[in-house]
Amino acid sequence: MPASAQPAPPLLAGRRLLVVGAGTRPSDDPDAPIGNGRAIAVAAARQGAEVACADLDTGAATATAGLVTGEGGTAHVLTADIADPDACAEMVAAAALTMGGLDAVAVNAGIGAGYGLAGTALTDWDHVLAVNLRAPFLIARAALPLLQPGAALVFTGSLAGTKPGSSSPSYDASKAGLTGLVRHIAAEAAPHGVRANVVAPGLIDTAMGRAASAGNTDRDRTARLIPLGRQGTAWEVADAALFLLSDRASYITGQVLHVDGGLSTLR
């Protein structure tokens, strides 16, 4: 077979990846779709990565690790409450120790709370910002000294970070702030050959997304709001994340990649 006809190697062959928020929200729906973090972990393993699956919910992280090993990959389970500042650095150190180093980080964990300005308690605001913005800062701060040239970080943002996207001011603010944070991380990491980018999903069909829109039973109407005419899947978010983590995105850093079916193009 000619060299040009050889199959391409896996995107993340030999990479040691920490996925923060690797579980999927528990659901009573037997048809509940997979979450973004779980999809990233499983898809990364399919592309040759060793994966540390970190989550607040040990059971959810264990289930994701089981899916990884079921496909022949190598997975490790870490439990961490990233609302606790000390837990962020401890989680990064544990992942590096367990895998013998760290080559990539995907920060997917995120929450929302409150409804409108009047309906958002200070405790809601503080907790959302702690998980969605402070934790990514702390994780990046702990990870950067461990990453070698060629490494990459990907953070899960949201369309809500670009335009009003939810009823939660704390969520919208945290996702907008994440974009600014990641641009700084990218600038600071670039001289070391390390990249950082944001994947910004729009209306993705996940268990968390269904729970957030529980009052809306007309999914066809929701789909009609999207230029491509349908909600996305966590696997499509994972494909974007894996691209940014891979060497195929070796000249891309400090960017926001919208995975939203064209919603970000609408006024």
> How do beta strands 152-156 and 104-107 pair?
parallel
CA 213 – CA 77 distance, rounded (Å): 30
**Residues ≥6 apart with Cβ < 8 Å to 69:** 75
Cα→Cα distances 63→54, 57, 67, 72, Å: 11, 10, 6, 15
Active-site hit among 55, 107, 171, 172: 171
Closest by CA to 184, choosing from 147, 137, 142, is: 137
The terminus-to-terminus CA distance of the chain in angstroms comes to 51
CA 149 to chain centre: 21
Per the CB < 8 A criterion, the answer to whether 70 and 35 are in contact is no
Q: 230-243 burial, b for 16+ CB within 10 Å, e for fewer?
A: ebbbbebbbbbbbb
251 classed as catalytic: no
Active site residues: 171
